[in-house]
Amino acid sequence: MLGLTARVSKGITISTNLVCNDNSGAKMVRVFGVIGAKARLRRLPSVGVGDIVIVSVKKGKPEIVKKKERALIVRQRREFRRGKQRVRFEDNACVLIDDQGLPKGTEIKGCVAREIAERFPKVVSIAATVV
């Protein structure tokens, strides 16, 4: 997996609620697992922009609610460094993806961090704006 150019501080932990930012049918999801987490005993693993998490769908279409899915973090409230700049967004948001890293939806409604483009070019190709 490619490394990120930015120094992303991890702002999302387990049991964080995220807005699902695509048209896959999910509206609100909750993080309950982290892919590739190496954490200390009794400390919650944390993730940031560009990381993959396992979520459960809390609000959305009835056929997708209570299902577990993989999601990619595309925005986070906690600021992170990109060179000498500091970047932060208004909310925490994710996009549902499949096992190969391809998005399940066909469009992404909000903006997406530029760090996503390095690892997941297919996700960025359907995004409205890249910041």
Residue 121 domain-assigned (yes or no): yes
Cite the beta strand spans of 35-107 per DSSP E. Answer: 46-47, 52-60, 68-75, 80-82, 85-87, 93-97
Tell me the residue range of the domain where 113 lies: 12-130
Residues 6+ positions from 57 with CB-CB distance below 8 Å = 20, 26, 28, 29, 64, 65, 66, 67, 68, 69
Residue type for 17, please?
N
2 within some domain: no
Residues 6+ apart with CB under 8 A from 27: 19, 20, 59, 60
pLDDT at position 1 over 70: no
pLDDT averaged over every residue in the chain: 93
Give the single-character DSSP code of 90. Answer: S
Distance CA 68, CA 58 (A): 10
Percent of the chain clearing pLDDT 70 (strictly above) = 98
Domain tally for the chain?
1
Q: Contact, 103 vs 122, CB < 8 A? A: yes
- 26, 63 Cβ separation under 8 angstroms: no
Instruction: Please state the pTM of the whole predicted model.
Output: 0.92
Is 28 among the domain residues? Answer: yes
Residues 85-111: tens digit of each pLDDT? 999 999 999 999 999 999 999 999 999
Structural domain contains residue 92: yes
Q: Would you say residue 3 lies in a domain? A: no
**Residue 92, strand partner residues:** none
What's the CATH code of the domain at 82? Answer: 2.40.150.20
